């Protein structure tokens, strides 16, 4: 190789490789503070993620498993959350318990499994930009989500703790995505949200993001902003839940109050997460 060519190659490697290796910063004055690029095969990184487990909410069909490769694993540089139709013993089952009144202990065997990954107790966030590049599952009954919950949930309960649904998709509505904010107003549950028509969002990867500032939250599908929530709509004082830290959740639900009837023929389904990145605003 000629010396001139070697010099040109060295210049390109030194200048371009760092740009390719580092996550690209989003538009605006943001600084990366936390991320998972999912590049180590196996179970999700335990220093970053925990799990919800069992029958958790919304009369959903799935049992959320913990540390189980069949339901949550890193493969091909991505997090794969898999919803499956399978018989799975409920370790919390109590003989004689009424399944209609207490699904957690009244169901001996689950007919479906999936996973819900959370950063609770490991990392929380207050303001900034949260973005997730993901490819959604498809079919009637699937209900993937990217969302945040106030870290004080155990102390004050829901919805006083606040909930931020960055993205929700239900398979029975295959051409739209949703963003919703839940909170308490006058002692009752209140919510505001937006939805966006998006043709077959499950057909390829898209970027789902929220930019959370002291005065508002802006929600994005790729580069399109489609909903803004004013923080003061949840209260002007310091008790406003969106002036307090939240933790992150990424889950795949099956059926339930919004997911609707499950079409078993579509299972198994994979919810693929390319990366999760959290930024904070740079100081002026």
Sequence-ordered alpha helix ranges (H) in the chain: 3-21, 103-106, 153-156, 256-259
Quick check: 93 and 108 in contact, CB under 8 A? yes
| Domain range annotation of the chain | 33-281
Q: Spot the catalytic one: 163, 173, 204, 280.
A: 163
Percentage of residues in the chain with pLDDT exceeding 70?
A: 90
**Residue 20 above 60 pLDDT?**
no
Architecture in CATH of 33-281: Sandwich (2.60)
Q: Spot the catalytic one: 168, 173, 204, 280.
A: 168
Q: What is the pLDDT of residues 84-129, one digit of tens each?
A: 999 999 999 999 999 988 999 999 999 999 999 999 999 999 999 9
Residue 11 banded pLDDT, cuts 50, 70, 90: very low
- Closest among 117, 181, 169 to 145, alpha carbons compared: 169
Q: What is the pLDDT of residues 150-171, one digit of tens each?
A: 999 999 999 999 999 999 999 9
Tell me the residue length of the chain: 284
The partner residues of 109 in beta bridges, in order of sequence, read 89
Catalytic site residue 108? no
Name, in order, each residue with C-beta under 8 angstroms of 22's C-beta and a sequence gap of 6 or more. Answer: none
Quick check: 194 and 178 in contact, CB under 8 A? yes
Catalytic site residue 52? no
Rounded mean pLDDT, 190-214? 98
Q: What is the pLDDT of residues 245-262, one digit of tens each?
A: 999 999 999 999 999 999
Q: What is the pLDDT of residues 32-48, one digit of tens each?
A: 999 999 999 999 999 99
Distances (CA, A) of 176 to 132, 168, 170, 195, 254: 17, 9, 8, 7, 18
- Within 10 angstroms of residue 232's Cβ, the number of other Cβ atoms is 13
């Amino acid at each position: 190789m000629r010396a001139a060519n070697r010099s040109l190659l060295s210049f390109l490697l030194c200048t371009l490789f760092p740009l390719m290796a580092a996550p690209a910063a989003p538009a605006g004055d943001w600084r990366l503070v936390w991320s998972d690029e999912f590049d180590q095969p196996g179970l999700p990184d335990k220093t970053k993620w925990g799990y919800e487990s069992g029958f958790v909410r919304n009369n959903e069909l799935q049992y959320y498993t913990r540390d189980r490769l069949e339901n949550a694993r890193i493969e091909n540089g991505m997090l794969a959350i898999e919803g499956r139709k399978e018989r799975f013993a409920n370790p919390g089952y109590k003989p004689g318990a009424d399944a209609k009144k207490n699904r957690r202990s009244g169901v001996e065997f689950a007919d479906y499994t999936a996973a819900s990954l959370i950063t609770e107790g490991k990392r929380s966030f207050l303001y900034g930009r949260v973005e997730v590049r993901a490819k959604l599952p498809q079919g009637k009954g699937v209900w993937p989500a990217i969302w945040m919950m106030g870290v004080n949930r155990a102390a004050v309960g829901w919805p006083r703790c606040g909930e931020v649904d960055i993205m929700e998709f239900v398979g029975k509505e295959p051409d739209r995505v949703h963003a919703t904010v839940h909170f308490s107003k006058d002692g009752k549950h209140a919510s505001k949200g937006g939805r966006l028509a998006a043709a077959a969002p499950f057909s390829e990867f898209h970027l789902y993001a929220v930019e959370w500032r002291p005065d508002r939250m802006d929600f994005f599908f790729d580069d399109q902003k489609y909903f803004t929530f004013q923080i003061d709509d949840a209260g002007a004082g310091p008790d406003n839940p969106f002036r307090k830290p939240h933790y992150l959740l990424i889950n795949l639900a099956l059926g339930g109050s919004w997911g609707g009837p499950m079409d078993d023929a579509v299972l198994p389904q994979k919810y693929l997460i390319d990366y999760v990145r959290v930024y904070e605003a740079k100081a002026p």
